[in-house]
Structure 1
Amino acid sequence: MDMFDCGIYSFVNSITIETIRFWAKNSYEHIEVLLNSAEPNGAILQKSFEDEMKRLFTSFQSIYNDLGEVKRDTNVYYMVKRFLSVNDHLIALLERLKFEGYNGFPILYEATYHFLYEQMYVKEIFKPLMYTRDVHPQDVVMHASFRRMGLGTNPLQCIYGQIYFWSMIGAEHPSLVMNVAPDEMKQLPKSTVKEFKHITNRFNNVAYALSSIYPKLNNQNLLAVLEDLRVLNRDFLNFLSNFKNNPQYLPPFLKRQLPELFFGVLEHIIDEHQYVEGLVKKIMKSQYGQDV
């Protein structure tokens, strides 16, 4: 989330046009991956699902394009409401797709759930800012019950929710990279596979550390986990850069065999972790007064 004051429900401070645009792009890229993943994995995508996904792809892309040249009189509330409407349709579709289209296909099932979590998460980011209602910690703090997501009702809960979400998403990203083209990925150097697994374990450790400190959450113990995430996220970005550009990690003969979808997914994941990097910097500055 692009924010300046985590956990305080000020629309101007918490949501910017760039935030909406980021998630619009993220959303249509999620759809693109799912549209292009059925056939390579032997799954049948029902025509009604395919048509609806293409319609939603166009809708998110339209939001993204409309926000490309923002004017001073752009109605931010309207754009968020427009995004949420399309997003609700995508969430409903993903809920069906995981059981009625990609069930029994582990790779596709994981990808569908992964994208579903992200769409539900961004809904919870925007929702409290659009509707007046009583917000309670048990409603909005994200934890192992993935249906409960959000910003929290104070800065510490907000930061906690952000870190938990991105640690969960980060843990799944190596698996998504490895399974876009599973036959080719089986030929990766053992050291590359080992590093992907190591990254996954480190993200899981961040999520575990958060759950462990939550009963006694305070600035100090949260800062320690936030710093771990910052270092881990930077390590992952460095590794992805090496994976993309260094033949030691991805041999040229193998790189030539990979489908275009693979590189699209890789860039999508890199974009998300660059987003996390910016998010952590803002939290460190606004909450702890640290420039990192």
Structure 2
Amino acid sequence: MDMFDCGIYSFVNTMTMDTMKYWAKNSYQHIDVLLYSAMPYDAALSESYNKEMKRLHDAFQAIHEELNPANRERIIYHMVKRFLTLNDHFVTLLERLKFEGFNGYPILYQLTYHILYEQMYVSEIFKPLLNTRYVQPQDVLIHADFRRGGLGTNPLQCIYGQLYFWSIIGAEHPSIIMNISPAEMRQLPEETIDELDNMTHLFNRINYKLTQIYPKLNKENLRMVIKEFDTLNKEFLKILEKLSKNNRYLPQAVRKRLPDIFFGILEHIIKEHEYAEDLCDRILKGIYGHNH
């Protein structure tokens, strides 16, 4: 999906529409997560925040619903511009929310930062469609040593940037899962907690490997890290599936006490890692001509 701006796919309407449809849904689900996560912590948002987030939620949802096969004749530039304008408002709101809404609530602050990072990444995906100027270091999400031009000035840099992003997201997800309802999650079997902690360690290790290869980035050393990430991501999906369905990993007694938002966030995280899995498949097929 995101690979259309990495030199593998051209800016064909179908590819762009599918990518935008995915991120429009992801965006309004992020707002659901923010609104419902605040409740267990009694974090009171001002009415203006609630109204603005609900407005953005409905607007992202409208874009998602409009991007169906029957409406594919819409002008792609108009739709991308509309989406990015909306996303810019969301990013600004998230920046304020860190300090004016969820400051002092560690898990909510982490969650806000996590979502902010994802929404900034979305802008990088679509930026080439609207803006071909050179991207200055201050415009880049990740430090300029890692990302010198948005998602890169060539396919390898672009793939590198996306892999770096998803490994950061992967490292944060176990912590988010464990902190949605901390009192209950501390009662999980030690095996479950250890596996989640290990996932954070392993995703962070991939981040480190990426920083090590960047000075001599080439097709082969990047392929090795992609394969390692792909294997790790698949393993994490297995753990998430066990959390979702296996009472040995999430005992029924604990499961019953967890708030509904826990299962909503868990499903959201599963979908994101399925998306990352599909992204790896596209990279390996498009650049390397194989899956493994």
TM-score (normalised: structure 2): 0.93
Cα distance in 1 for residues equivalent to 2:35 and 2:176: 15
Cα distance in 2 for residues equivalent to 1:72 and 1:14: 7
CA change 1:287–1:142 in 2 (3 A) is farther
CA change 1:194–1:145 in 2 (3 A) is farther
In the alignment, is the contact (CA less than 8 A) between 1:159 and 1:283 conserved in 2? yes
Cα distance in 1 for residues equivalent to 2:29 and 2:146: 22
Cα distance in 1 for residues equivalent to 2:112 and 2:149: 18
The number of residues matched between the two structures is 292
Question: RMSD of the alignment, in Å?
Answer: 2.3
2:130 aligns with 130
**Structure 1: stretches of 5+ with no match in the other structure:** none
Cα distance in 1 for residues equivalent to 2:261 and 2:203: 25
Cα distance in 1 for residues equivalent to 2:21 and 2:257: 33
Q: CA deviation at 1:2?
A: 3.2
Which is worse superposed, 5-14 or 190-199? 5-14
Matched ranges for 1:120-269 at <5 A: 120-135=120-135, 140=140, 142-143=142-143, 150-269=150-269
What are the superposed Cα offsets for residues 109-157 of structure 1, whole Å, 9 maximum, x if unpaired? 0000000000001001111211232346886584488998832010110
CA change 1:49–1:162 in 2 (3 A) is same
In the alignment, is the contact (CA less than 8 A) between 1:6 and 1:14 conserved in 2? no
In the alignment, is the contact (CA less than 8 A) between 1:8 and 1:153 conserved in 2? no
**Alignment partner of 1:87 is 2:87:** yes
1:60 aligns with 60
In the alignment, is the contact (CA less than 8 A) between 2:21 and 2:67 conserved in 1? yes
Q: Structure 1: which amino acid aligns with 2:44?
A: I
Cα distance in 1 for residues equivalent to 2:65 and 2:210: 37
CA change 1:142–1:9 in 2 (3 A) is farther
**Structure 2: stretches of 5+ with no match in the other structure:** none
CA change 1:149–1:198 in 2 (3 A) is farther
Which is worse superposed, 158-167 or 180-189? 180-189
2:30 aligns with 30
Which is worse superposed, 199-208 or 36-45? 36-45
Determine what percentage of the aligned residue pairs are the same residue.
Answer: 59
SS at match of 2:3: coil
In the alignment, is the contact (CA less than 8 A) between 1:24 and 1:64 conserved in 2? yes
Which is worse superposed, 153-162 or 133-142? 133-142
Matched ranges for 1:11-30 at <5 A: 11-12=11-12, 15-30=15-30
